[in-house]
Amino acid sequence: MLKEKLLELRQQALSTIDSADELKALQEAHVRFLGKKGPITEILKGMGKLSKEERPVVGQLANEVRQLITARIEEKRADLEARQLEMKLESEKIDVTLPGRKTAPGSHHLLASIIREVEDLFIGLGFSIEEGPEVEQDYYNFEALNLPKDHPARDMQDSFYITDDILMRTHTSPVQARTLEKHKGVGPVKVICPGKVYRRDNDDATHSHQFMQIEGLYVDHKVRLSDLKGILTVFAKHMFGADREIRLRPSFFPFTEPSVEMDISCFRCGGHGCNVCKGTGWIEILGAGMVHPNVLRMSGFDPGEYTGFAFGMGPERIAMLKYGIEDIRHFYTDDIRFLKQFYRA
């Protein structure tokens, strides 16, 4: 009876072990057949109840079956472990000969490139770079620039107000007013002020509520309009080609007197007339003038002792002219297809 039971157990155990396809199933088979409460242990425990003749026969067979099952489990375990390792190696295989992923090198935004180009030129001419707050006091943005509270020219620079007296700056001129104030009436002052400015405007192809500006200021003894002309000529040739000519037309700004607009001879047609210059041969580039005596006085400079010139330009306009860009919004919408075209500007 027990002998048959043992032979049957052996058969069951071996086929269970053979069909185990993972280590967990093998562990379960071990517990089931060889565990403390397993059938073979039970049989060995019950040996005392057997007759003298049966005891050695059953005992020997039970031990043989146990050894056989143990051996088969170990064999299978080694086999499964080897298979598992093989699968792991296969799935984690790295082909070190594959080419690496390329990272595209970054580059400056076109506006940053233009601003740097202008900065570099003026640093070479003895100017230094000044920056200031974008959230500005009414005093520096308007008042100190000869734009008192009810001045009609304020309407052209409607802005975003934080309070009655604090606003997003509408130009970078307040940086220059602050710089003049810091010098406490003693020249020379030679600065370039680039940065973001804000206007209350509806965005379209040529307007943006946020844009960039570069302003320049030179205050010293005996600075004249001819000095402005000379500096602007150097600037025009540097940015738009050595054969550029400039012309100044009368204009108005509250902070300069006299005020001028500067045109350059068309870099596309050389002045004959084309669609870039709209047939006129000239392209408007920037506004400038001699610093208004009121501005000098309010910032602590004696207009009897000091004179100066100032100018302001929009780097977006310069970039649009130079590269034929038709919509100002391209600068701010970060379409990589647009930006990529100027990676070495």
Closest distance between ligand 2NL and the C-beta of residue 270, in Å? 25
The yes or no reply on residue 39 touching ligand 2NL (CB under 6 A) is no
Q: Output 9 or 217, the one with its CB closest to ligand 2NL.
A: 217
Closest distance between ligand 2NL and the C-beta of residue 345, in Å? 21
Contact positions with ligand 2NL (CB under 6 A) in 93-112: none
Given the rule CB under 6 A, which of 20-28, 33-41, 96-104, 248-256 is the region that contacts ligand 2NL?
248-256
**Cα–Cα dist 31/8, whole Å:** 17
- 128-129 and 189-198: which strand pairing? parallel
**Cα–Cα dist 249/263, whole Å:** 8
One residue of 39, 187, 195, 287 binding ligand 2NL per CB under 6 A: 287
How would DSSP label each residue in 24-65? HHHHHHHHHHHSTTSHHHHHHHGGGGS-TTHHHHHHHHHHHH
Sheet-wide strand order for 282-291: 128-129, 189-198, 210-220, 307-313, 282-291, 256-265, 246-253
Given the rule CB under 6 A, which of 91-99, 105-113, 128-136, 211-219 is the region that contacts ligand 2NL?
211-219
257 is in an annotated binding site: yes
Q: Kindly report each contact of residues 235-238 with a partner whose C-beta sits within 8 Å and lies 24 or more positions away, as own/partner.
A: 235/118, 235/121, 235/122, 236/262, 236/264, 236/285, 238/117, 238/121
Q: SS3 for 251?
A: strand
Q: Output 111 or 286, the one with its CB closest to ligand 2NL.
A: 286
Q: Output 217 or 246, the one with its CB closest to ligand 2NL.
A: 217
One residue of 255, 267, 282, 306 binding ligand 2NL per CB under 6 A: 255
**Cα–Cα dist 138/82, whole Å:** 79
Closest distance between ligand 2NL and the C-beta of residue 295, in Å? 5
The yes or no reply on residue 253 touching ligand 2NL (CB under 6 A) is yes
Question: Residue 280's CB: how many other CB atoms inside 10 A?
Answer: 12
Distance between terminal CA atoms of the chain?
Answer: 96
One residue of 111, 168, 217, 277 binding ligand 2NL per CB under 6 A: 217
One residue of 16, 141, 170, 176 binding ligand 2NL per CB under 6 A: 176
Dihedral sign for Cα 299, 303, 304, 306, please. Answer: positive
The yes or no reply on residue 288 touching ligand 2NL (CB under 6 A) is yes
Q: SS3 for 120?
A: helix
Given the rule CB under 6 A, which of 3-11, 24-32, 171-179, 265-273 is the region that contacts ligand 2NL?
171-179
Contact positions with ligand 2NL (CB under 6 A) in 111-130: none
- The overall longest dimension of the chain from CA atoms, in Å, is 136
Closest distance between ligand 2NL and the C-beta of residue 98, in Å? 53
Question: Residue 155's CB: how many other CB atoms inside 10 A?
Answer: 7
Given the rule CB under 6 A, which of 12-20, 102-110, 212-220, 328-336 is the region that contacts ligand 2NL?
212-220
What letter would DSSP give residue 323?
A: H
Q: Output 177 or 277, the one with its CB closest to ligand 2NL.
A: 177
Q: How many positions of this chain bind ligand 2NL (CB under 6 A)? A: 20
Closest distance between ligand 2NL and the C-beta of residue 218, in Å? 10
**Cα–Cα dist 157/332, whole Å:** 21
Which residue of this chain has its Cβ atom nearest to ligand 2NL in the complex?
312
The yes or no reply on residue 65 touching ligand 2NL (CB under 6 A) is no
Binding-site residue positions for Mg(2+): 257
Interface with ligand 2NL (CB under 6 A): 173, 176-177, 213, 215, 217, 253, 255-256, 286-289, 291, 295, 310-314
